[in-house]
Amino acid sequence: MSELPRQLSARVDRSLARDIRALRLAGLSYSQMVKWGVALLADVYRGAWQYRVVEVGKTPELKSYLYDHAVSKTSGPPWAEVEEEELEPAA
């Protein structure tokens, strides 16, 4: 893989601005929004690949999600990190 950039950027259109306003209501910083948003999306992809829902490298279609009604005591994403090397393409 090529070297990753130190910073990411995206043009803020109306849709992204609306999403940012929603996340600001939860008190998230811009950095948290990007880091947690990417972590959440990557977790969806890794889970689909790990459970062979789609082939590694393909985009899964998320049909639903569940909320945990318990209040989290953590300050970060509530999921374990999976190393990319653990995921092997389906043979």
Residues 6 or more apart in contact with residue 45 via CB below 8 angstroms:
59, 60
For 66-83, b/e burial (b = at least 16 CB within 10 A) is eeeeeeeeeeebeeeeee
Give every CB contact of residue 59 below 8 A, 6+ residues apart in sequence: 45
Query: Is 56 part of any domain?
Result: yes
Assigned domain for 53 exists: yes
Average pLDDT over residues 83-87: 54
Domain that holds residue 35: 30-63
Residue 50 domain-assigned (yes or no): yes
Residue 32 has a CB neighbour count (10 Å cut-off) of 15
User: What is the tally of structural domains in the chain?
Assistant: 1
**Calpha distance 56→46 (Å, rounded):** 8
- The 10s digit of each residue's pLDDT in 15-63 is 999 999 999 998 999 999 999 999 999 999 999 999 999 999 999 999 9
Higher pLDDT, 84 or 76: 76
Classify residue 55: in a domain, yes or no: yes
> Does residue 38 belong to any structural domain of this protein?
yes
Query: Is residue 42 domain-resident?
Result: yes
Q: Identify whether 41 is part of a domain.
A: yes
